Amino acid sequence: MHWVVRGLAAILGLVIVVAALGLGYGYWRFSSSMPRTEGTIEVAGISADVQIARDEYGVPHIFGETGEDIYFAIGYAHAQDRFFQMDLMRRYVHGELSALLGHLNPATVTADARSRNRGYHLVASAAAENLSPEFHSAADAYVAGVNARLAEGHYPPEYLILQATPEPWELRDSMAVVVYMADSLAAGEGEEVARRELAEILSPTQLSEFLPAYPDWAPNMLQDEDFEPASAPVDPTTEAQPDYDDGSNAWVLSGEHTASGEPLLANDPHLALGAPGIWYFARLNLPQGAIAGATIAGSPLVVLGRNQVSAWGFTNTGFDVIDMVPHAPGTLATTERTEVIEVRGGADIAITIRDAENGPVLDPEYFDLDVFGNQDVVLVSTALDRSNQVASVSYNLMLSQSFEEFVEAGRGFTAPMQNMHYANVDGTIGYTTPGLLPIRDEDGNWTGYVPYEDLPRVENPVSGRIASGNNRIVPDNYGYDTPGSYAAYRAARIEERLDETGAHTPDTFHDIQMDQVSAQIQRILPALQAATPQTAHGQQALQRIRNWNGDMDALLAEPLIYSLWYRDIQEGIYADELGDDFLRHLSTRRVFTENVLIGDDGHWCDNISTEAVETCPEILGTALDAAMARGIETYGPDIDNWTWGQAHQAVFDHPVLTGSGLPLLENWFTVRQPVGGDSSTVNVGVYSVRDGSFDVFHGPSLRAIYDLSDLDSSRFMHAPGQSGHPWSDHYRDLAPMWAAGETFEMRTDWTPENAPEGVRILTLTPEN
């Protein structure tokens, strides 16, 4: 979302001038927006006193007499710490960014039009109508808590800078947060456009090589013996594609593989980094028992975490649940709706949107549809299904007491479809993936969804292990086609590390989470070491690569050498075939690169624009020489002084103020932290090969390790901090800890009466 609100300097410059004239007033306004964390505040909407006890990391532990009071309090706490983030998420989904930011950047109109065109706001409104009675009361209490904080008039500092006042929170806004996550995690739309474009450039043989099938050597998450096939195996309509850089890790072991004899579960979802981050840790001491873990500001749910008997973690399935279906002009039956986009400081913009039976017709004014010519393109997506009950399902998931309850709770889940790993204190481990998985006919048309009972699922697998690095989920004997995008290398490395130890502990799980050795690099090292650079710097760099094991440690020079080189390797391999379209389709393409360098596709090394027949060692040598020349210009001539961390830094962007052109605000609101890894390592750090920057924009949004022998000793971390207020001690305090692999506990064995030292307690008391 951050890309839609850049270029603020001209308008904000005026704000800064005004602030400078009244610096004392501005300081008071900024300070007054800091939330109170101690004392007593009277509020309307609760039945009895509620305590919000914040620990040394700013994590609220909430105590109250009823569930509704506790949900009210987490809403209040979210609004204290994260309301501007909440506001932007709801505005993105409802297509209302321009009403707040349109006077600063016209690109918000495009973002709003795209959301309205897709109908996200309609999905959120429908989801609000689909709530179970139990969750409806929880959500209503949450909304009341958010608005109780807003009623105090102490708004986040962004509203002072933007000279704006936030609107009250509504139930549909909490559902918008659910839709926002579905939009963030759904797979298929961009890949379909790219594949169509590549099909116009490459021959069918070249295309199959450039977009290779999931490799035979890479692990599937589930094995043949883990489940009964739903029906006879089917021929896939679309090959499973590798090279899925955006993903997550999760693995769970049964007690037979742990030192304690009880299950262990690890999870680190990989999401876009931001300041603040997507997650907000909390402990809710509900009447059903304490639940601790990661919430999303805008919703009262603990999405990832543990209750008193079980723990769960998610990764993205990678299933293709989005299609862009072209129709000849004039052949599509549609209805029309008019959407009016309010633009702050400008005229409202009315757009007419056409809806087909199976989805909205995308407007070429706001979507890149050139590859479809003049055809009407319908977006078919599970994220747009208005039967959405994800919020109520998630409520039941976090309260479930057994794997059977956990599986049953998943009914009604639509999107985003997740690999859900599970462990229980009774020794059970399991996996389930609720959601809508399309069934397609030979022409790719959706004919229904895989029945819930037939979705991939396993309880207590024979192996005692379920591990996901966004790799392919099911083996070939599964009864339904599962096209999608899957990652190969992280899962392979996780499996390798799990095999190294016979009796795992939380410490060994932590070591795996922080592992930065690239399985891809290890596989292609022999080819890299055979390169033939011609320059002294290229030869010096090659010697380092020959003594390297693929460890992407932030303190080493070799990862920087390799990463500079890797970009030029891509250019050397396929820039000649793609021509002017090279930069548009430049990405890591890891499996393809491996197939070229050590597999059967080495002919790609030949530059088709020359008469000579180039070999891979020659192309690699030329690429290394070019990379080192560029690196020396940027990082200096002494390679011994290079480190990966000086270039490869996690950047926690503020969605509005990063890139504003105002250094003071950027420094306040943006958090940077050197990190290791890359998109192929377990401890992931994704940067854009295309942009030419090593800034990490996607990585471990949280880390959690759940010890079912003692759930209170479970370990957690996220970044950059709990608070969204740049003056808070908890805005950026977790970032260096996160980078270093440190963790903390969210114990449930204390109350306000015996709280640990340093805990700050705010009491909400009913208003007279």
d(CA 558, CA 83): 42
- Asked if the structure places residue 390 within a domain, the reply is no
Q: Which residue in 499, 505, 470, 410 sits closest to 250, CA to CA?
A: 470
Torsion of CA 121, 123, 125, 130, to 10 degrees: -170
At residue 190 the predicted structure's pLDDT band, cuts being 50, 70 and 90, is confident
- Asked if the structure places residue 530 within a domain, the reply is yes
Expressed as residue numbers, the domain containing 595 is: 519-647
329 class by beta-carbon count within 10 Å (0-12 exposed, 13-18 middle, 19+ buried): exposed
Q: What is the pLDDT of residues 510-565, one digit of tens each?
A: 999 999 999 999 999 999 999 999 999 999 999 999 999 999 999 999 999 999 99
- Asked if the structure places residue 464 within a domain, the reply is no
- Asked if the structure places residue 563 within a domain, the reply is yes
Mean pLDDT to the nearest integer, 136-163: 97
Mean pLDDT to the nearest integer, 187-209: 91
Whether 675 has a pLDDT exceeding 60, the answer reads yes
Output the six-digit token pair for 76.
């209040």
- Asked if the structure places residue 37 within a domain, the reply is no
Q: Report the CATH number that the domain containing residue 571 is assigned in CATH.
A: 1.10.1400.10
Output the six-digit token pair for 122.
């309609």
Q: What is the pLDDT of residues 298-356, one digit of tens each?
A: 999 999 999 999 999 999 999 999 999 999 999 999 999 999 999 999 999 999 999 99
At residue 660 the predicted structure's pLDDT band, cuts being 50, 70 and 90, is confident
At residue 191 the predicted structure's pLDDT band, cuts being 50, 70 and 90, is confident
When divided into structural domains, the chain yields a total of: 1
SS in 3 state form for 248-308?
EEEEEECHHHECCCCCEEEEEEEEECCCCCCEEEEEEEECCEEEEEEEECCCCCEEEEECC
**pLDDT at site 62:** 99
Mean pLDDT to the nearest integer, 417-445: 97
- Asked if the structure places residue 619 within a domain, the reply is yes
* Helix, strand, or coil (residue 447): strand
Ramachandran angles phi, psi of 284, nearest 5°: -110, 115
**DSSP bridge pairs for 378:** 325, 361
**DSSP bridge pairs for 295:** 280, 302
- Asked if the structure places residue 603 within a domain, the reply is yes
Q: Determine the distance from the C-alpha atom of residue 9 to the mean position of all C-alpha atoms in its chain, rounded to a whole number.
A: 29
- Asked if the structure places residue 584 within a domain, the reply is yes
